[in-house]
């Protein structure tokens, strides 16, 4: 895939992160694990237009580390 | 994704400042590989494996004769290409008598070395930090040894909200941690960008003392990380409301380029190269001394924090979980790009 630029905007005044895929689709999340997982899953879950797949906010994700 | 100790190979890393490499034999370990660096009579920087092939004696503790190194133990002699040109007591030089020579690029005050297959080294891939040696800028710099893994330093630098808490009184103010960020992962260029633009912020001593600004400021922090080694923070400060002109000129702001080179020494230690270049108070020794002292203090605050974290990670092992929130968006993007370099060396532009 060429020209892939993923963007994540933290909406001022909120806790929301808006992920913008290189295909134009957008996704609102409340933690960065979620937003990166969605972006990198392209095209899965991206639909055919921007603004799809807006899910309910979740608690911040716990991830294993070591 | 984890706080990894893995080292990305088939990559360029900063091994030294140009000023560190001269006539003497200079030792530095990069990515677990001991190097000896020196400068030939015609001024070219050379990096060789710092181990004699005979009995592993360090060439950095040996003797230089012209552009050759004569091993200080038994006299094996190597030229600047790494070839053995003399051995003691016999005329036949074993075919395998050669030490590894590392591709070197000297650029922007840094000596970069290629850690990997020399055939894959592309000089044009060495990233630039032109401010460090450019007219119109004055630079102070240093290097601090860090007893912590590369990924801990990267995590630290990609999320500057820690300035508020770890570096209060130097570069941190409340607005840093409270201002949302925008993050961009440019897969083709292999760059992670994180921007934090504060419209109305307190001016920390680092900037008030160096610029003379006394009131509230507009403060922009624009990070660019080029994995695995080069981190640049484009910092802009100006009185509140003073913005660049529509044509891009920005004569009424102060610009500081904060450059880090993150070079693994081993899996659990890192060379923390830092430099601060400014486009104001050029040549002013008082300002240079102030910025050098203050930035070194800030770096040492990070070093103390990260050394502690490294010990905790080694003690706790894998039996812990970490929590990531919005401020970590850029750090997670950087970790992912680093993981990809580790998994697929020298293919920074491959997109999953």
Of A6, A17, A31, the CB nearest to B185: A6
Residues in chain B: 352
d(CA B194, CA B160): 10
Count of Cβ atoms closer than 10 Å to residue B312 Cβ: 10
pLDDT class of A51 with cuts at 50, 70, 90: very low
Check whether A66 has a pLDDT greater than 90. no
Per-residue pLDDT tens over the stretch B74-121? 999 999 999 999 999 999 999 999 999 999 999 999 999 999 999 999
Per-residue pLDDT tens over the stretch B228-241? 999 999 999 999 99
From chain A, the residues in CB contact with B323 under 8 A are 60-63
Tell me what the mean pLDDT of segment B300-315 comes to: 96
Cβ contact, residue pair A15, B324, below 8 Å: no
Check whether B1 has a pLDDT greater than 80. no
Check whether B331 has a pLDDT greater than 60. yes
Question: Alpha-carbon dihedral of residues B108, B114, B115, B116, nearest 10 degrees?
Answer: 160
pLDDT of amino acid A17: 96
Residues in chain A whose Cβ is within 8 Å of chain B: 1-12, 15, 17, 31-33, 35-36, 40, 60-66
d(CA B311, CA B149): 10
Q: Which chain B residue is nearest to residue A4, measuring alpha carbons?
A: B187
Q: Is B6 helix (H, G, I), strand (E, B) or coil?
A: coil
Query: ipTM value of the model?
Result: 0.89
- Reading the block at residue A52, the tokens are 């799809």
Q: Look up residue B10 and give its DSSP letter.
A: S
Shortest distance between the Cα of B105 and any Cα of chain A, in A, equals 28
Which residue do the tokens 């910025």 mark?
Answer: B291
Q: Which chain A residue is nearest to residue B351, measuring alpha carbons?
A: A1
pLDDT of amino acid A3: 67
Kindly report the pTM of this predicted structure: 0.92
pLDDT class of A56 with cuts at 50, 70, 90: very low
Single out the residue of A60, A35, A63 nearest to residue B322, CA to CA: A63
């Amino acid at each position: 895939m060429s020209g892939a630029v993923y963007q994540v905007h933290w909406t001022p005044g909120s806790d929301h992160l808006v992920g913008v895929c290189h295909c134009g689709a957008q996704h609102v999340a409340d933690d960065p694990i979620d937003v990166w997982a969605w972006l990198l899953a392209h095209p899965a879950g991206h639909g055919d237009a921007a603004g799809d797949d807006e899910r309910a906010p979740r608690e911040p994700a716990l991830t294993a580390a070591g | 994704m984890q706080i990894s100790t893995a080292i990305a190979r088939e990559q360029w890393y900063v091994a030294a400042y140009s000023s560190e490499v001269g006539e003497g034999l200079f030792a530095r370990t990069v990515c677990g590989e001991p190097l000896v660096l020196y400068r030939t009579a015609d001024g070219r920087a050379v990096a060789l494996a710092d181990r004699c092939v005979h009995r592993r004696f360090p060439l950095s503790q040996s003797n230089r004769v012209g552009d050759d190194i004569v091993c200080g133990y038994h006299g094996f002699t190597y030229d600047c290409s790494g070839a053995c040109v003399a051995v003691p007591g016999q005329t036949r030089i074993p075919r395998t008598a050669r030490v590894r020579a590392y591709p070197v690029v000297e650029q922007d005050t840094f000596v970069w070395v290629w850690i990997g297959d020399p055939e894959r080294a592309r000089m044009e891939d060495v990233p630039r930090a032109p401010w460090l040696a450019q007219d119109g800028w004055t630079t102070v710099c240093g290097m601090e040894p860090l007893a912590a893994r590369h990924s801990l330093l990267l995590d630290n630098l990609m999320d500057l909200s820690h300035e508020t808490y770890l570096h209060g009184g130097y570069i941190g103010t409340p607005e840093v941690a409270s201002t949302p960020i925008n993050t961009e992962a440019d897969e083709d260029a292999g760059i992670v960008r994180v921007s934090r633009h504060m419209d109305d912020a307190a001016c920390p001593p680092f900037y008030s003392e160096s610029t003379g600004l006394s009131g509230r400021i507009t403060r922009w922090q624009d990070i660019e990380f080029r994995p695995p080694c080069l981190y640049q923070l484009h910092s802009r400060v100006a009185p509140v409301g003073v913005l660049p002109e529509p044509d891009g000129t920005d004569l009424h702001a102060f610009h500081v380029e904060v450059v880090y080179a993150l070079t693994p020494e081993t899996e659990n230690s890192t060379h923390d190269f830092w430099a601060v270049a400014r486009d104001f108070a050029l040549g002013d020794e008082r300002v240079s001394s102030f910025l050098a002292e203050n930035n070194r203090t800030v770096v040492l605050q990070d070093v103390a924090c990260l050394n502690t974290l490294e010990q905790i990670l080694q003690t706790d092992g894998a039996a812990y979980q970490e929590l990531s929130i919005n401020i970590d968006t850029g750090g997670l993007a950087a970790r992912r790009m680093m993981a990809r370099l580790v998994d697929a060396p020298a293919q920074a532009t491959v997109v999953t």
